[in-house]
Structure 1
Amino acid sequence: MDKERAGIQSVEVGFTLLQALGRAPGALMLKDLAFAAGMGAAKAHRYLVSYQRLGLVVQDGRSGHYDLGPAALHLGLAALTRLDPVQLARERLPALMEQMQHTLALAVWGNQGPTLVHWMPSPQTVVAHLRLGDVMPLLSSATGRCFAAWLPAATTAPLLQAELQQTHGADAPTAPAIAALQPLWAEVRAQGAARVEGHLLPGTAAFCAPVFDASGQLALGVLCLGPSTRFDARWQGAVHGPLSAWARQLSHDLGHAPAVQA
């Protein structure tokens, strides 16, 4: 069994070159690529010769820089077409539940707004009044705030307008109120998740973190909620930190590459 698990070390070593190219913002010189992969230039060159033959790597004839080749592109596209964000998230929720011990849910953007598509109640505390298929409000729920913060304004504006008119009256101007929400959306984006305490369900607190796909679009939101008396509602606390990390890892595995801050 140990021999079967041993694998081929040279394949694993050489793969670090492909990983380095995948992390780089563009093509790399041999010395820079070898350094990024943690190996000598001569050794890296031998691997790159084989990778060029396979189409995994290409070399610019003028600059000599190396970059990922068409075979790497085809493999990546094949993997992306087989990814189902919701299914992948559902498979990983049990492990998150073991860590969080609070009710979890998944939501996607539907025709009428953020819609709950999967529900995993905590074995310790069950938050009632929410069901699969429920559409969450944009203003008073963590799920709604998460989607409102990351979706294009043109997508969310009609729903925001309808919610504000329900609160302030059908004749009340909504444009100033929508504009006044920008600091809230900015805070959600800065924190990497949305938070509410008692807004939608009295005595309940919640976080919702975004999951992005390879194109950078919001694929789904992962919601964690529980009773305020037992729920850590602090930013970077026992709920927010692990939930955001889980969402970032899932985004990464869906092919999302966060924008590099200047």
Structure 2
Amino acid sequence: MVKQEQRSGSYDLDSGAIRIGLAALARIDVFRMADEVFRDFAQSTGRTLLVAIWGDAGPTIVRWFDGSPPVITSLAIGSVLPLLRSATGRVFYAFGDRAHVDRLEHGAMEDELHFVRDAESIREQVAAELVAVVRGDLIPGLRAAAAPVFDLQGRLVLVASALSNEARGSSGDDQETITQLQGACKYLTECLGGTWPTRQPPRRSKSKAQPSKTRTPTEA
């Protein structure tokens, strides 16, 4: 299981141990683990939580955990979320596979670019803060915070988003929820063998993101 390098005298895993480790990683059920972590999150915080992965049409909801009270919305499992006008989409935009994102950017996302003037500043801010927060009235009274989960190779596996009604809580409650959400995503990332990124202050962009006055972001 362990081998010694002849020149340096140091020890390392031999091929058998590496195969066992890779086999164990292959058996990790990401969604089983995510279900446990985010069900506990919804129960402990009372916030509704959705889990999204990247599908053929973009960010797609695959799990939904009701909070207390539950959030009533038109969104459901299978819904595809906009890339720039939703918190979930913005996390995919910041951390997702650039080839997939760019492909969508030149297709379905073109409409969104008419309403978000500086998409790059959104990417930089989310990447720096490790969270996207969106408030809007496309879905009346709904606000959302979304955070990433990474795998062993640093790839974005899924995005978790906490939802709440505008009437509930204060900005302090929101910040507490964001901290708890990031903690849950960090824990799941580490369970998958990944490393949670270090938060960095966002760089100053030459222009600030300015959503159009005629369109507001969807929240999730």
Verify same fold: TM over 0.5.
yes
| 2:84/2:112 contact within 8 Å kept | no
| 1:83/1:254 contact within 8 Å kept | yes
| 1:194/1:208 contact within 8 Å kept | yes
Paired with 1:236 and 1:131, the residues of 2 have a C-alpha distance of 23
Show CA shifts across 1:53-90 (max 9, x none): xx1x3221111122233333122111111112122201
Q: Deviation at 1:258?
A: 4.7
Report the equivalent of 2:18: 73
Paired with 2:198 and 2:89, the residues of 1 have a C-alpha distance of 26
Give the direction of change, closer, same or farther, for the CA distance of 1:59–1:199 in structure 2 (3 Å limit): farther
Report the equivalent of 2:153: 215
1:92 aligns with one of 37, 48, 54? 37
Report the equivalent of 1:118: 63
Give the direction of change, closer, same or farther, for the CA distance of 1:260–1:94 in structure 2 (3 Å limit): closer
Report the equivalent of 1:187: 125
Report the equivalent of 1:163: 109
Report the equivalent of 2:92: 147
Paired with 1:223 and 1:216, the residues of 2 have a C-alpha distance of 20
Q: Deviation at 1:194?
A: 1.3
TM-score normalised by the chain length of structure 1: 0.68
Instruction: Give the CA RMSD over aligned residues.
Output: 2.6
TM-score normalised by the chain length of structure 2: 0.80
Report the equivalent of 1:197: 135
The 5 A counterparts of 1:126-145 are 126-145=71-90
Tell me the percent identity. Answer: 35
Paired with 1:260 and 1:129, the residues of 2 have a C-alpha distance of 35
| 1:205/1:233 contact within 8 Å kept | no
Give the direction of change, closer, same or farther, for the CA distance of 1:217–1:142 in structure 2 (3 Å limit): same
Bigger mean CA deviation after superposition, 232-241 or 139-148: 232-241
Show CA shifts across 1:68-114 (max 9, x none): 33333122111111112122201222211122211011111100000
Give the direction of change, closer, same or farther, for the CA distance of 1:93–1:68 in structure 2 (3 Å limit): same
Give the direction of change, closer, same or farther, for the CA distance of 1:247–1:260 in structure 2 (3 Å limit): closer
| 1:106/1:118 contact within 8 Å kept | yes
- Looking at both structures, which has the greater relative contact order when contacts are Cα pairs under 8 Å and sequence separation is at least 6? 2
| 2:186/2:196 contact within 8 Å kept | no
* Structure 2 counterpart of 1:154, one-letter code: A
Paired with 2:171 and 2:57, the residues of 1 have a C-alpha distance of 28
| 1:115/1:134 contact within 8 Å kept | yes
Show CA shifts across 1:150-184 (max 9, x none): 11333112433433336639xxxx9xx5xx31221
